[in-house]
Amino acid sequence: MNQPQHFKSNKGKKSEPSQPALIASQSFYQGQIPPPEMMEHYKMVDEDFPKRIIKMAEDEARHRHESEASTRKMLVRTSYLGMIFAFLSVLIVSTIVFYTLYKGYAWEASTIATGVIVGIAGVFLYRRKNK
């Protein structure tokens, strides 16, 4: 069997390690609470560390839930306000269009109505495009 030039054969030679072997270990965890083994190490440093870590995780979860609830309430409130103002805007524009028709300005009334309809359609299309 042909061996490449850069490898040397060790046949018949005693193999002795020239350097001691170094073994490294690494561990990690996901989440806020470390695994029990790590908690034991924390407990060796200070008796209160595991309790403080768990309390910190509970406080963080509570804060996150309150923040998400607040965000949901704000989104609902914004949605309702948007619908109310849209309805009021339609009422005001409709009143202006009917008043201009009543006064005999049919061309102006149609221009106002068309402009508002195009504007509203543009807002909806722009909003849908950005989502």
pLDDT digit string, tens, across residues 59-84: 999 999 999 999 999 999 999 998 89
Query: Of 60, 88, 105, nearest to 52 (Cα)?
Result: 60
Mean pLDDT of 12-41: 77
Asked, for residue 93, whether it belongs to a domain, the answer is yes
Give the three-class secondary structure for 77.
Answer: helix
Q: Is the confidence at residue 106, as pLDDT, over 90?
A: yes
Cβ–Cβ under 8 Å, residues 57 and 33: yes
Residue 86 in any domain: the answer is yes
Lowest mean pLDDT among 28-37, 74-83, 86-95, 109-118: 28-37
Do the Cβ atoms of 29 and 38 come closer than 8 Å? Answer: yes
Residue 113 maps to a domain: yes
Asked, for residue 104, whether it belongs to a domain, the answer is: yes
The residue among 5 and 53 whose pLDDT is bigger is 53
Indicate the number of domains in the chain.
Answer: 1
Instruction: Give the pLDDT confidence of 43-63 residue by residue, as tens digits.
Output: 999 999 999 999 999 999 999
Instruction: Find the helix packing angle between 49-102 and 36-45, rounded to 10°.
Output: 110
Mean pLDDT score of the chain: 85
Residue 26 has pLDDT above 90, yes or no: no
pTM for the whole structure: 0.53
Q: Is residue 3 part of a domain?
A: no
* Residue range(s) defining the domain that contains residue 101: 36-130
How confident is the model at residue 48, as a pLDDT?
Answer: 94
- Does a structural domain hold residue 2? no
pLDDT of res. 129:
75
Q: Stretch 10-36: mean pLDDT, rounded? A: 74
The CA–CA distances, whole Å, from 25 to 18, 22, 32, 75 equal 22, 10, 22, 48
What is the rounded average pLDDT of the residues 11-18? 60
For residue 109, being part of any structural domain is answered with yes
